[in-house]
Chain A
Amino acid sequence: MAKHKTPLLDQLESGPWPSFVSDIKLECENRAKNEKGVEFQIPADCPEDLLGVLELSYVDGETHWKHGGIVGVFGYGGGVIGRYCDQPEMFPGVAHFHTIRVNQPSGKYYTTEFLRQLCDLWEFRGSGLTNMHGATGDIVFIGTTTPQLEEIFFELTHNLNTDLGGSGSNLRTPATCLGMSRCEYACYDTQALCFNLTNEYQDELHRPAFPYKFKFKFDGCPNGCVASIARSDFSVIGTWRDEIRIDQEAVAGYVGGELAPNAGAHAGRDWGKFDIQKEVIDLCPSECMCYEDGKLSINDKECVRCMHCINTMPRALRIGNDRGASIFVGAKAPILDGAQMGSLLVPFVKVDAGNDYQEIKDIVEGIWDLWMEEGKNRERLGETMKRMGFQKIIEAAGVPFDVRQVQEPRTNPYIFWKAEDVEGGWDRDIVEYRKRHQQ
């Protein structure tokens, strides 16, 4: 028998989608039965109260949560988000119900043992409810009380070999795609770079001193499986400088029907015979491909790395050999200003583990120095960029100006030359000038 009547939530379960209400009810049952004999450190029926307070919010049309506070673990300014219910007498199980963010494994690889350890810990010291994963990529533990925080932190860092994630005005937990571990499109080792920068910037992750949040994300190729270009202030996307490698025999294999396009995906229905012209050549956004006399050719200079041809014919087309990454900055969700995609800052950089990724770190730190100095409170890098002009970011990052940083030539002449950049500076002989130009 449920502790609280929840007719509005029950109705949600009737939809066609998997329901979080059903999930929470399942956890209510598990905790009530307690077959494993867990000594719950917070009220066993807290998921019941969670359903109760949510139902009340639906009835009232307003939230009953307060968020924010001084809770955390000693020395860390992030990783824990204080949550308090404003009806603690009605719902004592969730009176204090803090969220903990935990750094997810790189590329979200889990062993069953690690998953079991996480779940056992959270059943014991928390609500048992998790969100795998939050939008930034963290493992999110939903709901515990203040006295449990240090205990959980000790267990995570000493026995589970992981750490709290980022929250607040911090560097947020860096996220990466699977990279070279499973993907032939990866142009650099995303997991290695993510791991290195996570360790290098521990202080920025745990001790907040930024104007607002800052996110790193690492995509191995322009397919962008972690959508870094849309979601991170500093997005590193794999690319190549030379040509797409073409295997003409395999191209013929696709055209002849021996090889299934899209590596056999979308095979649920018959799409008819593969038509290279219609399905690949005509879809190239920069129209840089042609297929004539059984031969595929690509004008690589015009290629914009949309990945469509490679995705469609992975056996025939492969990424180039001279690989590295492009860096984009300033993507964000619409909090203060509208949503923004990342803007190209560095067209190509070698991702070099040999020098400890120093080239990338120099760019990051240059940008941080400017943003920490000039960024207004609660202003994302993308907003600082819009307010001050992209030129400032280019200068702070210490990278050269490049025509590829301009999205549409002549519509936004945002690069202003300085006197020292121009031969002869701004000085001119006005008399000489007037001889040639009437006033």
Chain B
Amino acid sequence: MIRCIISMTLLFALLVFASCQTDYDVAEVAPSEHLDVEHPAGPEQAEDETCEECDSEHSIDEQVEDSHAGHNHAQGSRNHGTQWFFNQPWAAPFIWGKLFRDAAIFLVLAVAVFIISGRKRRK
């Protein structure tokens, strides 16, 4: 029965999350005016491209922003979830909203699982 409760909880969480529009890859949900026209797929795809000169993996954006900084990554650019937060101030609300939404859902689920498993045990 406990397994059933956990499965139901996970399924519920899965459904809730799957129905949400935004996620941590801000590039997927960002308004078009904020995205680089040449790299519409966003930073994840851009990161996969390789600099021919040095044969190392860093983004085209980095080369533009940090072309004089040798092999250093752009500020915060290696953090997948937080890069937009630090590099694109307009994207911060997306991250905040996402974090708050997730935190609230996990908190509600935690309380629900605690109460349900406790009731089941007392029976």
Chain B binds chain A: no
